[in-house]
Amino acid sequence: MITEIAFSSYPVTDVPRARAFYENVLGLKPTMDMDMGEQGHWIEYDIGPGTLGIGRYEGWKPTGDGCTVGLEVDDFDATVASLQKAAVTFKMGPFETPVCHMAMISDPDGNTLIIHKRKPSHH
């Protein structure tokens, strides 16, 4: 029986560039960094009870059309303004739904992430 999602992850092609985005632009703090040289590189960011991983491995290619991670933020407007200032690519939005505010952005490899803020009545 499946009990939880252990982690979500994105493939990246340039680890230093990806780290600059995930750490400097999104503000995530690495909780694990496993550099295996030519075999690959794996980095984890613990976010609340979940984990987001990024990695570079032969045969694992980025795509903007696969599964995506929704990242809940404290201040949606401030986060959007910060991302716009950093010249992050917005694929969709920002927009409002009956239950949330959200925007779809791309990391430097074109992977899609969702910036998300639930409305108080939908927690």
- pLDDT for 44-69, tens place per residue? 999 999 999 999 999 999 999 989 99
Please check the confidence at residue 123 and state whether its pLDDT lies above 80: no
In 3-state terms the chain splits into helix, strand, coil percentages (rounded to 5) of 20, 40, 35
The pTM of this model reads: 0.91
Q: What is the CATH number of domain 8-122?
A: 3.10.180.10
Using the predicted structure, report yes or no on whether residue 3 has a pLDDT greater than 90.
no
Q: What is the mean pLDDT of residues 19-33?
A: 98
23-51: average pLDDT: 96
CB 29 within 8 A of CB 18: no
pLDDT at 76: 97
Q: What is the mean pLDDT of residues 88-93?
A: 97
Question: Please, what is the average pLDDT of the chain?
Answer: 95
**Whole-angstrom distance, CA of residue 35 vs CA of residue 56:** 10
DSSP-assigned letter for residue 121? G
